[in-house]
Amino acid sequence: MPAPFKAAAVQFEPTMFEKERNIAGLLALVGEAADRGARLIVTPEMGTTGYCWHERAEVAPFVEPIPGPTTERFAALARAKNCFIVVGMPEVDPTTDLYYNSAVLIGPEGVVGTHRKTHPYISEPKWAVSGDLGHEVFETEIGRIALLICMDIHFIETARLAGLKGADVICHVSNWLAERTPAPYWINRAFENGCYLIEANRWGLERGVQFSGGSCIIAPDATILSVVDGGDGIATAEIDPALARARTVWGEPIFRQRRPELYRELMTNTFAWNPGDFFRLYGHQPLPEGRQAKVAAAQMHPGDDARSNLREIGRIARAAAGEGEGAELVVFPELALTGLARPSEKAIGADSPILIDLQGLAAELKLHLVVGFAERDGARSFNSAILVGPEGVLGVYRKIHLTEAEKSWAEPGEVWALFDLPFGRLGLLIGHDMSFPEAGRILALKGCDLIACPAAIRDRFHAGHEGTSVAQPAPIPTGPDPLHWHQYRVRAGENNCWLAFANVHAPLDGYPGHSGVFGPDTFLFPRQETVVQGNGSYALMTVDTGSLGGPYPTHVVRRKDLVLMRQPHHYRDLIAPRAT
């Protein structure tokens, strides 16, 4: 096991057309970080040249092969300081004359490996082609190192591949923009993969684009260990490979709990064609007509008595569906009906009077309810959620990803659950399911407009932000935000789905609540979301799955840009059998 070591994230503002000045500035900052004891030093995307190139001809004088003159200058510094350096630069492949947005890992012995950006931002196709080297993890004397570039990390698959290949640390070089940083996506990718993330971002204004800064080092538990807000600077922190190799989220062995046999659809791209045409092909399971609807995420503290829990469910549902509110769907927490304690003893069957009465409540209020409960089916028990509506029971979802504690009383489910409601396609996940980014992605690929997630999560899944000094154009917020990182907001945005997250609220027992309905675009400000405030019982949001007309969907939840832009041919390792 490699020993702990110091790492550094370099923040820097390059100047276009001044390559020599940029390289000299980066060498100085890298040298300073090495003198502070850093063994791994990461610099920003395209740090040697600047980023906002108009076209291939404009950047042509500044591209280089790898290895080449620029990498040799950094290799000389790596040799002298006995360190590893990640450099972001435009690369030319001499055999094809193709250009790439690349990051290169350089050590005391020279170039260790290169990553070519696989998932381009809107600007790359003006001059570069998509990367063809996959997503490798490089074994070094200090640990296992993965490289990703900016837009790559919007996609759950890239960081997951790094984690599955054993990365201790993901070095993410970027030119991030349009939000406060450290960005929620950065935090989530470290957290969900149980590894460190070193984020080297640029700052400053280039061709009218304001970059966000916020370079940082993020621990496997989502703690921001060190950060630079604005300006050139260096963030340093200790990396302990042993913590990363534990591969835990909330103490759960997250990679052993994956269900790759159920992830085959990750290799598909269902949004490559007009999704309206694709999902109605052969008349099989066409998407419902989209429209606006009000959805509520409820929170409560389930007790030991199912009848009392049902009364509380009824009280909240009546309020959410009542005059002036008008909810069509209300989502309740995990085990909301049967209670959190001793679920195996409280488990009920499909013919239970309490479930019949729940159906009666939905019929009376003329709305749909998603409610978590412990289910008994013969000798088997499941952690389940039922969907009921005015028409009766639409179905039951059995939790696919169980915690270690749940395995003592429940069996895992084997089938993803999707239901077509009057306003859109609904998918169900429960609590710990959402710790697995693969789960939400599969529901998105199946055309879900909305994911409902009953939960009973007491561990930290959120963090605040003190605000940034980096000026941003309106309406991008820069001030303090107590819920800057909320894992379930990220899950909604990365899948271009609405997400109704209904968590247990019991502060004295450690359940924080923070239930809400989150929008399908996390870069749309002000955000399309609502979170339960204070001691409230529910958060209500008008969701929209409709389009403006015409043959192609115009709403992000139906066209799913981030799902369309995936590169599934890189993802094969996501469906490999679990390691024993």
* Angular region, 260: left φ>0, alpha ψ -120 to 50, beta rest: alpha
325 closest CA partner among 536, 567, 556: 536
The single-letter code of the amino acid at 289 is E
Tally of CB atoms within 10 A around 211: 26
472 burial class (0-12, 13-18, 19+ CB within 10 angstroms)?
middle
The phi, psi pair for 154, rounded to 5°, reads: -65, -20
Decide: 271 and 474 in contact? Cβ < 8 Å. Answer: no
Active site residue 45: yes
Annotated catalytic residue, options 6, 13, 19, 45: 45
- Omega of the bond leading into 526 within 30 degrees of 0 (cis): yes
Decide: 347 and 381 in contact? Cβ < 8 Å. Answer: yes
Annotated catalytic residue, options 117, 346, 399, 560: 117
Active site residue 18: no
Interatomic CA distance for residues 299 and 315, integer angstroms: 12
Alpha helices in 98-155 (DSSP H): none
Annotated catalytic residue, options 6, 13, 91, 150: 150
The phi, psi pair for 233, rounded to 5°, reads: 180, 180
Whole-Å CA distances, 462 to 241, 534, 579? 24, 16, 30
3-state secondary structure of 527: coil
Decide: 501 and 515 in contact? Cβ < 8 Å. Answer: yes
Whole-Å CA distances, 333 to 73, 210, 236, 540? 57, 40, 40, 15
> What's the order of all strands across the beta sheet hosting 224-227?
137-140, 143-149, 169-174, 196-201, 216-218, 224-227
Catalytic center residues: 45, 117, 150
